[in-house]
Amino acid sequence: MMPNITRRAVVALGLLMAVPALPAAAATNPAEQFIADNIHKGFDLLNNKSLSPVQRRAQFEQFLLGIADMKRIAVFTLGNYRRSASPADLEAFDTAFQNYAVSVYQSYFSKYAGQSLKVTGSQVRSADDVVVQTQLIDPNDRSGQPPVEVDFRVRTDTGRPVVTDVAYSGIWLALEERDQFTAFLGQNGGNLRTLVNHLNELARQYK
Highest mean pLDDT among 10-24, 46-60, 89-103: 89-103
Number of domains observed in the structure of the chain = 1
Measured CA to CA, the distance from residue 179 to residue 30 in angstroms comes to 31
Measured CA to CA, the distance from residue 116 to residue 94 in angstroms comes to 30
**First and final CA of the chain: distance in angstroms?**
20
pLDDT tens readout for residues 57-72? 788 788 888 888 989 9
Which among 63, 91, 65 is positioned nearest to 78, based on CA atoms?
91
pLDDT tens readout for residues 150-163? 899 999 998 899 99
Top pLDDT among 188 and 56 is at 188
Return the CATH number at 37: 3.10.450.710
Q: Say how many CA atoms lie within 13 Å of 36 toward its Cβ.
A: 17
pLDDT for position 1: 46
In which domain, by residue range, is 82 found? 2-206
CB-based contacts of 69, cutoff 8 Å, min separation 6 = 155, 158, 162, 163, 164
